[in-house]
Chain A
Amino acid sequence: MHPSPDIGIWIGALLTLGIFSFLYGDNPYYKFCEALFVGVSAGHWFVTLFWTVFVAKLIRNVGIGLNTFITEGFSAGLSDYLHWSYIFGGVLGFLMLLRLFPKIGWISRWSLAFVVGTTSGYFFINYLVSNGLRQIEKSILSLGAEFWFGNLILVVGTFCGLIYFFFSKEHKGAFGGLARVGIWFLMITFGASFGYTVMSRMSLLIGRMDYLFGTWLGMIG
């Protein structure tokens, strides 16, 4: 049993025990770790975004654009729109900040509109192609192939599943029967993924145990 000398490991281990103490109940030790984590994580998230996005994308590109204006004159600067055009991104981002001032807060809707508009156009195509067409392409299976039994169940399963997600007709009679088979298939799948998730969560716990008993206290391994 030879506990590790590294102060960082000790901090990590004490925080780990603090979080585990929540299992016993909401207590000051846990509240301390939670509060510290909330502050540190928000700060970390903002610093990382600041350097990797704000500086790396906005400031750098606008800087390059500006010095093409200064060094190579106005016309060359204009043609280098690849870089200085990021200023619009910055402006829209700044408009978002105006939310804080109730009087002119409505202007922030423009940047929100830009974000929502662009992503909805992207989602429209993305979902239609990857969830719609691609899945249909993969669900068309020949029943004459050597593994026809599996294919038959696959086709029946997908068919009944789709019937379950049909909203225009009450789930009654034969139609209701098909929908029932569909939800059965769904429940088998959810059960399987529940079983899988138990294994992956346990391996997370094993990882923490290795950290506490191995890296920190040096009892095993």
Chain B
Amino acid sequence: MRRVMPFTIVTVTGLFMLVQYFIPREEFEWLYEWTLDWIIVIGCFAMLLGLWSMTYVSVSKVRRKIPGWGYNVITLAGLFFVLIVGFVPGQASLVRGSAFMHLFEYIYIPVQASMFSLLAFYIASAAYRAFRARTILATILLVSAIIIMLRLVPLGPLSAVNQWLANFILTVPNMAAKRAFWIGVGLGATATALKIMLGIERTYMGRD
């Protein structure tokens, strides 16, 4: 019961999703939308699970006074402050201008944007430290990157040549490589999906 049932569910739901693609009848269309909605609902519960695990870890760190527990207090404070501001006003909290949305605008967005802009610094340091022309392949990657980047640098007469080269790279080899990559990934992913559906691939379920 504990071992067999999950894998029968996987095979049944997998084959159903496969078969319904070919059957345009209305009932199957409705079943398709209905199952996808279920998965979103289950995802919501999984989120609750994750939140519980995070709170449990933070609280245990604070109770045992592990060095740096002060930051866990701040995380818990931030978490519960948002939960209170998010739940008390009910659904209205999602409306623009509510306290919950202000928190989102003045804490979440600036930090997220700053994190992303860190990438500009990291790309510069990767360019200097990690970006070595060790092998022929790395050299090709290097030269191609520089040609594309030179489009932004005014080179006077040279710009036209560089522009033509960049245009050629973007039009022809670029598309060919992406197609080969997509076909490869496509077949690989299809094979893995088949293994899961037929219960051959079981690691994601773990064994005990």
Contacts and interface: CB of A to CB of B under 8 A. Distances in A.
A188 B43 contact: no
B110 A117 contact: no
B128 interface: no
B66 interface: no
A65 interface: no
Q: Most chain-B Cβ atoms within 10 A of its Cβ — which of A39, A92, A114?
A: A39
A43 B145 contact: no
B155 interface: no
B13 A47 contact: no
Q: Report the contact-size class of chain B (Cβ under 8 Å from the partner).
A: 35 or more
Contact of B186 (A42, A114, A130, A198): A130
B12 interface: yes
Q: Is the contact region of chain A dominated by helix, strand, or loop, or is it mixed?
A: helix
Contact of B94 (A52, A97, A157): A52
26 contacts: A12-B105, A15-B114, A16-B114, A31-B68, A37-B111, A53-B40, A96-B46, A113-B5, A113-B6, A113-B7, A114-B39, A117-B13, A120-B14, A121-B16, A124-B194, A135-B179, A157-B173, A161-B181, A161-B184, A185-B177, A190-B141, A191-B143, A198-B145, A205-B121, A207-B117, A211-B110
Interface of B: 2, 5-7, 9-18, 21, 30, 34-52, 54, 68, 71-72, 74-83, 86-87, 91, 93-94, 100, 102-121, 123, 127, 137-138, 140-149, 152, 169-187, 189-190, 193-194, 196-197, 204-205, 208
